[in-house]
Amino acid sequence: MSEAAGAGRPGVGGPHDPSCPTSRGHPEGGAWIYRSDDGRSGWRAQGPIFLGTIVNHLVLDPRDGTTLLMAASTGHLGPTIFRSTDGGETWAEAAQPPAFPKGDAHGRAVNHTFWLEPGHADEPGVWWAATSPPALFRSADGGATWEGVSGLNDHPKIMDWLPPDGGTPDGAIVAGICIDPRDARHMYLATCSAGVLETTDQGETWRPLNRNVEASFLPDPYPEYGQDAHQIALAPSNPDRIWQQNHCGIYRLDRPSEEWERIGNAMPREVGDIGFSIVPHARCADTAWVFPMDGTDVWPRVSPGGKPAVYRTRDGGGSWERQDRGFPAEQGWFTVKRQAFCGDAADPMGLYLGTTGGEIWMSGDEGGSWRQIAAHLPEIYSVVAAPVR
């Protein structure tokens, strides 16, 4: 492995031995790091790390290749951030974890940090954290201390956009952060109740970016905001291309356009285009993968028909091909949460997904075939792949 999280980010180098720091869940969670020293054939486990801790995200800093940040909480205790600079052997707690100011006008307190994002390549030491209730925090010292981003957290419309009690079953969230690799001031957020928000001044001002994205659960199905963006990702080779797996479908946006296109309409009707994750190719801007789930009636959130598969597009969403070799042919009721499907930067690109049933599956041939590389783990919340430095 290892220490480089965020495989596929521009600028991450090193041998192509991805690792999968995985994390999860309430209440018997923890973190594990899987390392491969032989071209992704064999994997050895390091862990559990912080057994019993709910780990929503474990991310390696691609700028130094050594620093790991972990978003942690437990069933009892409040949320915090742990930091390691030795590949996860030892950890130190943030001196000042993400927290709202005392006396916050809306009475908010951070329940958990959901997403950790290393800052722009030109800003070493800067990290961003997205939380529940929905808010954004920034660290300028490698994750030791954190401050709220007032431009969002105190925005006049924050209670319309991101009410603390809106959204997902585990609590309303800012679900993801994307930073334009060409401009540190240009960022996107995926949110559970305001869709996608954009800033061009590093968080001082924000605006919704949701045109043509459906919110089928609202009276106006195409509102300015109100959508549930499960995950967004910039194409590493073309940051003007944004992929989105939304609560209501799969979308693509090519900036400077502001009109999303529902590319999920090209998915097989019997499968649909509901899911949590979307993974862009490390080098090809027309290629991305999704892991569809059953979003019918009561939202079973498992593989449609009990037949797990990823779907790949190689033409920007114009068409999709099923990739299921190696997965159970039937009775495979996988649920893959939004942070639990990722890719590395190797060639051919590796793909990794973790299930709520505690299994990690990987493909070393861009989805052509899949094999299980770990099982019997607790429910998996997130999987992050990283190349060795």
Q: How far is the CB of 125 from other proteins (least distance, A)?
A: 21
Site string for other proteins, 14-33 (x = CB under 8 A): -------------x------
Q: How far is the CB of 75 from other proteins (least distance, A)?
A: 4
Q: Which stretch binds other proteins (CB under 8 A): 91-99, 153-161, 195-203, 303-311?
A: 91-99
Helix ranges, the chain (H): 150-153, 158-161
Q: If binding is defined by CB under 8 A, does position 95 make contact with other proteins?
A: yes
Q: How far is the CB of 72 from other proteins (least distance, A)?
A: 10
Question: How many residues in the shown chain lie near other proteins by CB under 8 A?
Answer: 21
Nearer to other proteins, 111 or 238 (CB): 111
Q: If binding is defined by CB under 8 A, does position 93 make contact with other proteins?
A: yes
- CA 134/CA 152 separation, integer angstroms: 10
What 3 state SS string does 72-122 have? EECCCCCCEEEEECCCCCCCEECCECCCCCCCCCCCCCCCEEEEEEECCCC
Nearer to other proteins, 133 or 203 (CB): 133
Nearer to other proteins, 130 or 253 (CB): 130
Q: If binding is defined by CB under 8 A, does position 76 make contact with other proteins?
A: yes
The radius of gyration of the chain's CA atoms, rounded to the nearest angstrom, is 19
Site string for other proteins, 36-75 (x = CB under 8 A): --------------------------------------xx
Q: How far is the CB of 101 from other proteins (least distance, A)?
A: 7
41 is written with which tokens? Answer: 């054939």
277 is written with which tokens? Answer: 């994750």
- CA 210/CA 189 separation, integer angstroms: 12
Q: How far is the CB of 80 from other proteins (least distance, A)?
A: 7
**Contact partners, residue 224, CB within 8 Å, separation at least 6:** 208, 210
The SS3 call for residue 340 is coil
Among 54, 59, 71, 110, binds other proteins (CB under 8 A): 110
- CA 311/CA 377 separation, integer angstroms: 25
- CA 337/CA 75 separation, integer angstroms: 19
The residue ranges that bind other proteins (CB under 8 A) are: 27, 74-78, 80, 93-95, 97, 99-104, 107-110
